[in-house]
Structure 1
């Protein structure tokens, strides 16, 4: 459990003999609930219109063990301070990848101190407004750049490259099990960027970048800014689609005109999962 000011190791009792220990019985790590929309017509049944994933609640049993009664009180105080603000629940999978989701305490935490005791058990209820766990690692794919130093596309080394334009397919490997939001970082010179999703959705920016200039398109926040932070959203083509990277392996396409060997388009994203075990 991490906050801006502290990190609580929830495996501390097992590794050091004192501290905090998440015990068996943690609930809420399964698939989160969904709100499904249906279109009810005059005929039989209904038609599916879409869904949104709801926030999830987690009940976490904790065993708190101190060196003595005074140390136990200090551990309780530390836990209370951490739970007073938003914190992050962090899980580490077998490959060593950290997956986290922000949580808020919404209940639980009842304790009972007995005479001379140096440990106690409690259950804390958290609510995760973002129901997905996001990876700490960033997946990156690059289009363009100095082709004398590296292939134009590491996964498509035979792709022909024209001197004045970066055009080609880019392989997207999303290790998560839900869609992830890409961030597009474009390095000039070049103009008229178009990135097309695996299912044909288009996101086009009609502006131009000089050598050394940079453009950042964040699809999650829906923002388009240059390297100085200035808003360049107005140069998007009509009806932009801030598409997402689907789970698994898929192929998108990128076009960027009037480029040089210094031009590049970099796509990065943090994979997300419903469940981490």
Structure 2
């Protein structure tokens, strides 16, 4: 059974608390908006019959969340309603925790709902409508693939399938397992020494950085934000080669080619990402 939790900067609400303790705020059956998100599709209309598909854009999702709020007494019931009301004043994180402990989240804002009728009992029922601008649920767990330099051959070993290269070059193939439903955005972190980073996706999309890293100096490339900074936060975007491709990690297991020149045993390349899903049950 999936457990829902609402989180903000100042409070966390376990939406399975009534089932666990007999009191609290409980998400009940009837939630909508947790499946496939809406899309807008563009079609090309020609002179002939029919039309041709051009592309689509995935839209944000609206989630209707029915809640049962149960207090120990009237004062406790007012406290629970107040906590929920304060939570709904700003951005929240809706977290879904599956039976195996995996955790998936999306940022939400209240856009409607929240009405209820007082019946004199110690519980009330209401439905709140939340909008998630990001249509995907993102895994909290980070997947990281790390490869290190070798002082003797200057090639990446262990996690890489070695290719024959010159002694001053580090090159190899790295596996990128993505258990999500949609592409994930990688973050590349490189520890020097080294120069001329070159990472190529299985489809041949190339991202090249022509700068140089001293020993222990770091470079961080965020493919979602399209940013390139060093370990001190200094912008190093200018060292990118022309027409950079901030490519994504597709669902399933794919491979990428990584290359770095003038490496030592201290050199390291890490590729990290969070899986994303259309829906979580």
**Equivalent residue in structure 1 for 2:39, among 27, 34, 40:** 34
* TM-score, normalised with respect to structure 1: 0.94
**Equivalent residue in structure 2 for 1:215, among 196, 219, 231:** 219
Alignment of 1:7-156 (within 5 A): 7-115=12-120, 117-145=121-149, 152-156=156-160
Distance 2:165 2:192 in 1: 17
Deviation at 1:260, TM superposition (A): 0.8
Distance 1:147 1:173 in 2: 28
What SS does structure 2 have at the residue aligned with 1:79? helix
Distance 2:157 2:86 in 1: 49
Q: Deviations over 1:117-147 (max 9, x none)?
A: 1101101111000010000100001122458
Aligned partner of 2:3 in structure 1 is none
Alignment of 1:150-169 (within 5 A): 152-156=156-160, 163-169=167-173
Deviation at 1:166, TM superposition (A): 1.8
Deviation at 1:67, TM superposition (A): 0.3
Pairs aligned (count): 274
Is the contact made by 1:224 and 1:231 (CA closer than 8 Å) also made in structure 2?
A: yes
Deviation at 1:199, TM superposition (A): 0.7
Deviation at 1:52, TM superposition (A): 1.3
* TM-score, normalised with respect to structure 2: 0.93
Distance 2:66 2:144 in 1: 37
Query: For the aligned residues, what is the CA RMSD?
Result: 1.8
Is the contact made by 1:152 and 1:161 (CA closer than 8 Å) also made in structure 2?
A: no
Is the contact made by 1:177 and 1:274 (CA closer than 8 Å) also made in structure 2?
A: yes
Structure 1: where are the runs of 5+ without partners? none
Is the contact made by 1:144 and 1:166 (CA closer than 8 Å) also made in structure 2?
A: no
Distance 1:21 1:160 in 2: 60
| TM superposition outliers: structure 1 runs of 4+ over 4 Å | 151-163
Q: Deviations over 1:252-275 (max 9, x none)?
A: 111111111111110000100011
